Structure 1
Amino acid sequence: MGCSMVDDLIPAATIILLRDAPQFEVLMVERHAEIAFAGGALVFPGGRIDAGDHNPAWAAHCEGFDAVPEEERAPRIAAMREAFEETGLLLARRNGETIGADEAEKLSSWRKRVEDDDRLFLEMIAGESLSLAADALQLFARWRPPKGVGHRRYDTWFFAAKAPESQRAKADGVEAMEIVWTAPADALAESTAGRRKMIFPTLRNVELLATSESADAVFSFAETRDRSPIEPRRIERDGAYFLTIPEDRGYPVTEEPLEKAMRS
């Protein structure tokens, strides 16, 4: 089930799960090669914002719900749901404490069911007397491509969060084929060497993560930066085409030759 789209933009959310172990790392997943969008690419867990993510009943099952801006509530729920579906990591608490590995593993049988019907995520959380950690997410960026850039146009919210320390990530084998914990700089090196591929927004945000040295530094940085939507543009220069973003938004790299940019 999907939400209504404005100007054919598809509402979506993704989550940047971070850890210091002790090296600063980000969790990424390699998508199934046959998936229509970003097939075979290294991405952050994420996907469409579905109707169930807007259910007002979530107010009773999310910590920090009322303090979250209203427009961010469904995107945050979607980001946490997608993380659970694709990696098994569940940003949820019981009696104020983040659940551990054993409890998250016991809930793993719900992953495919939730993927098939997003409404079951609320049923699971409520039935287990858990609360989603909506207050653990920090808005990091929002990307919204204009017409003419990409075959599928997603209005995507990027949230950063610390990964649950004791839980173990495991790819679902459907959308996410491999779990990759990596230092941002190492992911960039793999991309440059052609061993991994990333779509344009992912690559730019990994470059931005690489400017920080810890998860806390990412959160501090995100709090102070302009997080209004980034809108890539296609430009022509000296007969060559480039995909570009504004230079005043803090991204180390702001353009890429169009023929090299993986957009969908």
Structure 2
Amino acid sequence: MNVFPAEPATPRPAAALIPLRDGVDGLECFMIERHGALRFAPGATVFPGGGLEPGDHAPSWRALWPGAAPDDLPWRVAALREAFEECGMLLAEAPPDPGRLAALRAALAAGTPFSGALAGSGLLPAPHLAVPFTRWVTPDTQARRYDTLFLLAPAPPGQEPLVDGGEAVAGLWTTPRRALDEAAAGCRRLVFVTRMILTRLADCPGVAAALGEAERADLRPIEPRLVETPAGAVFRIPVGCGFDPVDTPVEKVTLG
């Protein structure tokens, strides 16, 4: 009897925000540690993010954009929403009143949709401050797949991160190099795309340099492919996509 492989799962659109700041040792990014019981990337240290929701496509978001809104606005909204839900930071033009931020968190915890909770809070998010940096698609070898746009943004001034205690159990500011070194020492779990992004950011001395990289970034989707080579199986990414190495042995790749 012939057994045919199942069709690859369709990637779910997703977005992630990488908050940045200049620290004593150079560029720092804010990351969260995922709960160990989650089905996807349990216990991994990742950037705040998640799948797009219907409300992220609401026409009302276009009123927040200074001019004609871009096609990626729903991804920007999702990145802002997820960052606020998971670590309590709202990307905004000016430092928001702490009481309004607390009220917004309470409204979301009560089940109010993000757009409705924002309208009631009087807070004004600034999705135009987020800069698309790279777009990655989970390999078709995985049952759970995402097509994720990663965006960089200066950390909102005057706001202290506050993880939700649900999906995110801890948060930290770290330099990209420190996070990579801790993962190499077995002290931190990084999925493949996070490790690749940290490796690229590690070459940026500060926020301005990282945002400059994003402004020049190639946003064509990067989907690692499983390839057999004489030296063994690797996950391969396109040459010239802005990330290295092109080939990574499968035993060194954590996908979820």
Q: TM-score, normalized by length of structure 1?
A: 0.88
2:45 to 42, 47, 63: 42
Distance 2:221 2:159 in 1: 32
Match of 2:219 among 221, 224, 227: 227
* Whole-Å separation in 2 of the counterparts to 1:100 and 1:208: 35
1:38-187 aligned at under 5 Å gives the runs 38-60=41-63, 62-64=64-66, 66-70=67-71, 72-93=72-93, 97-113=94-110, 116=111, 120-148=113-141, 150-187=142-179
Moved more, 247-256 or 25-34: 247-256
Secondary structure (helix, strand or coil) at the match of 2:179 reads: helix
Larger radius of gyration: 2
Structure 2 counterpart of 1:53, one-letter code: D
* Other structure's SS at 1:196 match: coil
Q: Which amino acid aligns with 2:41?
A: A
Alignment match of 1:191 (pick from 183, 194, 213):
183
Residue matched to 1:253: 245
Closer/same/farther in 2, CA of residues 217 and 158 from structure 1, 3 Å limit: same
1:15 maps onto 2:17 in alignment: yes
Deviation per residue, 1:104-162 (Å, 9 max, x gap): 2443323434xx56xx11112112222220110000000123522x2211010101001
2: CA distance, partners of 1:163 / 1:102: 19
- What is the deviation of 1:212? 0.5
Structure 1 gap segments, 5+ residues each: 1-5
Q: How many residues align?
A: 248
Runs (4+) of structure 1 exceeding 3 A deviation are 100-103
Identity %: 38
Aligned to 1:32: 35
- In the superposition, the TM-score normalised over structure 2's length comes to 0.90
How far apart, in 2, do the equivalents of 1:239 and 1:217 lie? 36
Amino acid at match of 2:19: L
Q: Secondary structure at the match of 1:89?
A: coil
**Which amino acid in structure 2 is aligned with residue 21 of structure 1?**
G
Contact 1:63–1:132, Cα closer than 8 Å, also in 2? no
Give, as a single letter, the amino acid of the residue that structure 2 aligns with 1:15. Answer: L
